[in-house]
Amino acid sequence: MTEEMAQARRLVAQAGRIVVLTGAGISAESGVPTFRGAGGLWKSHRPEELATPEAFARDPQTVWEWYSWRRGLIAECAPNHGHLALARLALGDTPTTIVTQNVDGLHTRAAHEAAGDTDPSPALPVEVHGAIDRDKCSLCAVRTPGATSVDTSSHASLPRCATCNGMLRPDVVWFGEALEPEILSRAFQVARDADLCLVVGTSALVQPAASVPLATLQSGGTLIEVNIELTPLSAEAEVSLLGPSGELLPELLDAGPAP
Ligand code: BJW
Ligand code: ZN
């Protein structure tokens, strides 16, 4: 075990309350592409062409094609050892909240898998950017349970709201849109209440989510970062564990005495 890992394990063992902020990197080993970096989704698609309300208003068919493709891809993926280690942590004795920027639902699936016949709710994530497998109306914001199957062959066949006939869209947060206020304030509250923040697989570039760990720091807590590369948050972290989260999180979090 490296000295960094030993130090990180001691910090976890001593923590009274933990918040975890995850990003796309935690799902990379499940086969979900990240946004930025090698193989990232933005390499082939410009975000302003796909992940903004303006893009949807201009060309809903292209936006729906991208989301249908991603829904299909995510449906084939399963939680990895990183998601499962976090779910076990949150179901354990130290009060822990998982805050995720991911829309892929893999933390939720890991919570159910790790809980088995017990209550999964302590391991259910606070999803600050929404969920890809739900739709909402772009006009009246009514949510539809489950994802509509979308025929992207023509503009005319795109799904519409049963209440107001507005265009349905994926229930995710695009650039320039406000995050759900109650969800955002819950994320910052649990970060302020925590004495340890574990930041996993995020480039920490997208606001306001990237500031969640700063709330823990400002209330006197400590950061541990897990990422394959350094990020703007690395300088603030007590320990940076460099490597894939699917390997490092079980080593960090799974039972065994802290060294
Ligand atoms: C591994 C790994 C492995 C790989 N193991 N690690 C303040 C300053 C500047 C700008 C702003 C600001 N406040 C707001 C803004 C504007 C904007 C913003 O932040 N822009 C920046 C890019 C400059 N923010 C917004 O627009 C937000 N809205 C807002 O603030 O509204 C204000 C408002 C108020 C009132 C009225 C109206 C408006 C909304 C942001 C929404 C972000 N949406 C997306 C798309 C979601 C839907 C979808 O999925 O399609 O969310 S963008 C995308 O980025 C997605 C992600 O959740 C988010 C973060 O990305 P993440 O998770 O960090 O992924 P990557 O790919 O960037 O990084 C992966 C990391 O993993 C890397 O570090 C790898 O090294 C690592 N990794 N493999 C461990 N195996
Ligand atoms: Zn509607």
Would the CB of 254 count as within 6 Å of ligand 1?
no
Ligand 1 within 6 A of 31 CB? Answer: no
Q: Ligand 1: does its nearest atom lie under 6 Å from the Cβ of 173? A: yes
Pocket test for ligand 1, best of 35, 52, 206 (most atoms within 8 A of CB): 206
Q: pLDDT digits over 41-97, tens only?
A: 777 777 777 899 999 999 999 999 999 999 999 999 999 999 999 999 999 999 999
Q: Interior CA angle at 124 toward 192 and 73, to 5°?
A: 120
- Three-class DSSP labels, 18-59: EEEEECCHHHHCCCCCCCCCCCCHHHHCCHHHHCCHHHHHHC
Query: How far, in Å, from the CA of 52 to the mean position of ligand 1?
Result: 12
Return the bridge partners of 100, or none. Answer: 22, 127
Per-residue pLDDT tens digits for 193-232: 999 999 999 999 999 999 999 999 999 999 999 999 999 9
Task: Tell me how far the alpha carbon of residue 136 lies from the centroid of ligand 2, in angstroms.
Answer: 8
Ligand 1 atom closest to the CA of 129, numbered from 1: 46
Query: Does the pTM exceed 0.75?
Result: yes
